[in-house]
Amino acid sequence: MKNLHPNWLTEGLIDFEYKQYMLLAYLQQVRQAFGHRKLYPFLADLVFHYQNLLQIRQNKQLLYENFPKRISHADFEKLKIVYQKIVDDDDAMREIEEIVQFAIPRMAQTLANGKEIYEEIEQNLAINPVGLIPMHLSEGYFFLNEYPLSHTHLYRYQITIFEHTDEKYRGINTTFVESFKKSVGETYESLKISLIRRFRQLPNPATFVIEAKVPCPLEESLLPVAKRMLVRHVSQLA
C-alpha cells in the first residue's frame, strides 16, 4: 500500500481537486485491505491521519508547523516568515480548510469500517491461561491458533509500562518462537512443560492460549488484535 505522507495536506500543490484525488486513492486502498480483513498497518495509519486532521481543524498553529521545510538552516528565520504568510493567506487557508472538511467525514467513515472489523475479530477470540497463573505476568508465552485450526504459533511476550504525563501505558514486545501442528493427544499443559525444559530463562512462565473462532489474516489482523487483548487481560489479572 502506498502510504499517505504525514504532511500530505500541506506539501506540494495546495489545490482542492488534487488533494481530493490523493485522499480518495488512499482511502480506496485502505478499504480494499479492510475488504480482505487486513487491519494493520492500515488501521493505525488511518487513525494517525484522522487525528491529525481533527487537531489541524482546531489548531492553526499545528497547521503552520506541518508545512514542509525545504530550506537551509541559515534561512530558518526567513522560512518562519514565509510560512506565517502562507498561514495568513486567506485564499490558501480557505483551500486547506475545504480539504480538511472534505477529508474528515470520509476518513471517519472508513475508520468506522476498520473498527467494526477489529471488534468482530476481537469478539471472536478466546484467551485462557495454561496451567497455574504465576505472580510475574509481564513476561511469558502465548499460543496463537488460527481458524480453522491447522497450526499453532508460539510467541514469547514481554509487557512494558511507560509513563506519559500523568498516565501509564502498557506496550508489548513479541518474539516468534515457532509454528507447529498440535497432535490430538497433546495438551497445552504438556506443551508448557516442554517450553520450561527447553527455555530455562523462564522457569515458571505465564502462558496463555488465544484461539480464533473466525478466519482472518495472521500478520495483518489476528496477531495485532491478540497482542492488544493479551495486554488488557494481563493488566486485569495483575
Shared-domain flag, residues 25 and 87:
yes
Contact, 3 vs 45, CB < 8 A? yes
| Strands (DSSP E) found in the chain | 125-129, 139-145, 152-164, 167-180, 206-212
Supply φ then ψ for residue 202, to 5 degrees.
-115, 90
Shared-domain flag, residues 23 and 101:
yes
Shared-domain flag, residues 75 and 131:
no
Residue 10 in domain: no
Shared-domain flag, residues 71 and 38:
yes
Indicate the number of domains in the chain. Answer: 2
pLDDT in tens, the chain (238 residues): 577 888 888 777 888 899 999 999 999 999 999 999 999 999 999 999 999 888 877 776 555 565 555 444 444 455 454 455 555 556 667 888 889 999 999 999 999 999 999 999 999 999 999 999 998 999 999 999 999 877 899 999 999 876 555 556 788 999 999 999 888 888 999 999 999 999 988 888 999 999 999 999 999 999 999 999 999 999 888 7
Contact, 110 vs 174, CB < 8 A? no
Shared-domain flag, residues 94 and 145:
no
Cell of 128: 485462557
Torsion-angle region of 38 (φ positive above 0: left; ψ -120 to 50: alpha; else: beta): beta
In angstroms, the CA 225 to CA 155 distance is 14
End-of-domain residue from the set 99, 122, 145: 122
Shared-domain flag, residues 207 and 224:
yes
Q: Which domain holds residue 229?
A: 125-237
**Residue whose C-alpha is closest to residue 228's, from 109, 112, 108, 119:** 119
Secondary structure class of 37 (helix, strand, coil): coil
- Concatenating the DSSP letter of every residue in 99-152 gives HHHHHHHHHHHHHHHHHHHHHHHHHTEEEEE-SSPPS--SEEEEEEE-SS-S-E
Shared-domain flag, residues 131 and 110:
no
